[in-house]
Structure 1
């Protein structure tokens, strides 16, 4: 009987193990291939995905099938009024929205974040008003101000100054104030009132944070996804993101404003408008619920002509600082503990300051 060398035996066993593993791997790959072919079979029948062309074709077919009911609905005077209000708000607001988003993307991509920490005073109490005034150079809505404020905190800027900038930027930048002037051509005091009230609220909230805020209420944001991306690509990505999100909220806000003008009975609005306290509270709550971008909210406020200028000023001051989309963004960037404390406080301060400024200027 021939003896087998131990090393040779080990080599044979290793070779057999490799063969078995290779066979098992081939079997698994074959099974996976079969599964993929099974999943891809419907795709070959119906296409890889349903695109915009398919959706458009379905919409056109539905329009043809239901052309008579649609024609009757369009001829309804209430629907015509709704369409008129909606289109007028959109036509006036969209140019300001697009221009503001583009400039905001330029600043966010091409201006180094370290610039802000160098430009602000080292003393926190002095940094708050400087950061509030710096909001003038950010022509964008609150959608862009939230991530920038998070970046400022991550770069070492005191949270009080970053939060003051967060509140002031969407409300006092030139695009928003110009849009307000266009929306209220016969009331230039609305532009002054909005700028002054918003600036005061931003500084008060910054100083309140210095006094009462706690560091553990803020969850520091992660590094932005656009870091490391080429500037041109980052710019267009920021523009597309902001236009889609801000434009979507603008459409919803314009639809809500048109619906309010058509569905809500005139006597209800007049009842709220005739009561100074109820009109202020109603428009403050409405600003939170509509979540309209600051470049467009002035046109919606102008359409609510039943209400006093002071109550509409409250609407314009509250909207860019406290609304549903802004609260959700703050919760995502800074944490829910922060949003649950910061949003209600800002809401109360906005109402008080806007009413005081309205009484003096309007």
Structure 2
């Protein structure tokens, strides 16, 4: 005869009288529909203060700048994501290995030029550079491509021309400064880089997935991430334009050195996708063209998300050495290029 045990009263998963209902912890869980309902109720309860806030001149100015930056940058962002995903998925890494010269000193500028003709943002350049290293390409050439591809490709340069319609020199200055920094970092790594600083990636980014699935997966990933950074960057630009006191911005903008350093730091912190950063830079009209050039050169090469991606792909020892040197060189080259061309 099978024996069954009955749990004592008041113990077990359902206590007496609860009718089998979910535990109190689950019933109090804050779900997305409940959160949306609370937000809407709060907006209805405080509709008069909200209406007055939206009608304020500073709010309207903020919203105008924010919407303008997002709408101008979004088409270039989407186009850049589609093209970079296609290259990352459908162009085999062995193609780049065959196209580069055997001599590292010559491979560096060739890799920089390859970045100028192959569209892609920094989100795509890091895994592509990792694939190049894994396929036997000299690290100096792969790192040059990593820096040049998101900075001087056709999509980025076209977006820069649209964002600065009255300053065509900005396109040339961005191209020259970015390519110089990329090649200089490649040659610097060739001379001073050590193998134990660079941890090659273990596997391909799209290994085990079909071409179509990898393509759309890459598109979804880059649109979500790059789009989020674009929104954050547009919000920051609108805030600088509408909220920060004009005398503060004027004090920073009036100093040639401080303005360059301020926008270099802003580029690192905002981490805007390179297809969209020109429109944010164009909105910072308080600053000189040289300072805004620094913003455009530093952003695609050194920012918070790039540092995290580089550390995850090549190792923290690499990122801790590579990013600070790149930042210093990008600031210096941008300042010199701006003084000459702008």
Q: TM-score scaled by structure 1?
A: 0.85
2:94 equivalent in structure 1: 114
The answer to whether 1:68 aligns with 2:48 is yes
Q: Report matched runs for 1:1-362 at 5 Å.
A: 41=22, 50=31, 55-362=35-342
CA contact (8 A) 2:112 2:148 kept: yes
Going from structure 1 to structure 2, the CA distance change for 1:77 and 1:135 (only over 3 Å counts) comes to: same
Give, in whole Å, the separation in 2 of the partners of 1:46 and 1:175: 50
Give, in whole Å, the separation in 1 of the partners of 2:104 and 2:51: 62
CA contact (8 A) 2:140 2:187 kept: yes
SS of the aligned residue for 1:185 comes to coil
Give, in whole Å, the separation in 1 of the partners of 2:207 and 2:34: 36
SS of the aligned residue for 1:307 comes to coil
Deviation at 1:50, TM superposition (A): 3.9
Deviation at 1:70, TM superposition (A): 1.2
Deviation at 1:222, TM superposition (A): 2.5
User: Residue deviations 1:144-174, cap 9 Å, x none?
Assistant: 1111111111111111001000000011001
User: Residue deviations 1:65-112, cap 9 Å, x none?
Assistant: 332221121111111111111111100011111110011111111111
Deviation at 1:41, TM superposition (A): 3.7
Q: Which runs of 5+ in 2 are unaligned?
A: 6-11
Deviation at 1:183, TM superposition (A): 0.6
Deviation at 1:225, TM superposition (A): 4.6
Going from structure 1 to structure 2, the CA distance change for 1:206 and 1:71 (only over 3 Å counts) comes to: same
Give, in whole Å, the separation in 1 of the partners of 2:13 and 2:148: 56
SS of the aligned residue for 1:122 comes to coil
Deviation at 1:49, TM superposition (A): 9.5
Going from structure 1 to structure 2, the CA distance change for 1:135 and 1:225 (only over 3 Å counts) comes to: closer
Going from structure 1 to structure 2, the CA distance change for 1:220 and 1:42 (only over 3 Å counts) comes to: farther
Going from structure 1 to structure 2, the CA distance change for 1:141 and 1:225 (only over 3 Å counts) comes to: closer
Going from structure 1 to structure 2, the CA distance change for 1:67 and 1:209 (only over 3 Å counts) comes to: same
Give, in whole Å, the separation in 2 of the partners of 1:166 and 1:40: 56
CA contact (8 A) 2:127 2:205 kept: no
Give, in whole Å, the separation in 2 of the partners of 1:358 and 1:97: 26
CA contact (8 A) 2:89 2:211 kept: yes
Larger helix percent: 1
- How many residues get paired? 330
Deviating above 2 A after TM superposition, structure 1's stretches of 4 or more consecutive aligned residues are 38-43, 45-51, 53-66
Give, in whole Å, the separation in 1 of the partners of 2:201 and 2:48: 53
* Root mean square deviation, CA, Å: 2.5
Give, in whole Å, the separation in 1 of the partners of 2:153 and 2:30: 42
Give, in whole Å, the separation in 2 of the partners of 1:254 and 1:84: 11
2:9 equivalent in structure 1: none
Give, in whole Å, the separation in 2 of the partners of 1:61 and 1:102: 39
Q: Which runs of 5+ in 1 are unaligned?
A: 1-22, 28-33
Give, in whole Å, the separation in 2 of the partners of 1:47 and 1:109: 45
Q: TM-score scaled by structure 2?
A: 0.90
User: Residue deviations 1:187-212, cap 9 Å, x none?
Assistant: 00000000011011100000000000
